[in-house]
Every structure is written in C-alpha cells, then in structure tokens.
Amino acid sequence: MLRAVSSEKAVRLIELNNTLVFQVDRRKNRTEIKKEIEDSFKVKVDSINSLIRKNKKYVYAKLNAKNPAIDVATSLGMI
C-alpha cells in the first residue's frame, strides 16, 4: 500500500527533483515498490531510494523526465 507524503520537503522534491515520497510497508523491497508505483500511476520510475525512520519506511521515487511528478501529485490531491 502506498501512502503519499505531503510535507514541505516532499512538495519541494516534487518541484525541484521530479521525485515523489511515499510511506510503504517495511516488508516490501525496492523492485516491488517500483512496480507498484509504475502500475498505479502509469509512469516510469528511474530510481528508488528508501529510508527507515521510527519504524516506518519511506521511499523516494525519482520519475523519468517524460513523466512530471507534479501531474501525479495533482491527481493525488497533494498540490
């Protein structure tokens, strides 16, 4: 399950780096998360970085330049 993070840092990453931030299940690995993002939003993910903090896993998904992250964020209601 993907849960979009809409903090100030996440919005800045969307605008500057074309990167989306999600909170995901800790048991999922990078390839599963990448496939889920690509299937859910019909975008191409270039890279995935993950962070575990306070027993929660956050994923930074950098999208391909052809797929603007601002469009996905707008459809999610983040912006």
| 78 assigned to some structural domain | no
The two three-digit tokens of residue 36, written as one number: 């889920």
* Domains of the chain: total: 1
Average pLDDT, the chain: 95
Write down the pLDDT at residue 79.
80
Cα radius of gyration (the chain): 11
Q: Tell me the residue range of the domain where 62 lies.
A: 3-69
| 76 assigned to some structural domain | no
Task: Tell me which DSSP letter residue 79 carries.
Answer: -
Answer whether 28's CB lies under 8 Å from 34's CB. no
- CATH number, domain of 31, equals 3.30.70.330
In three-state secondary structure terms, 47 is strand
Name all contacts of 26-32 with Cβ < 8 Å and 24+ positions apart. Answer: 26/52, 26/55, 26/56, 26/57, 28/57, 30/59
Positions of the chain with pLDDT lower than 50, given as ranges: none
Task: Please state, for a pLDDT cut of 70, what percent of the chain lies above it.
Answer: 100
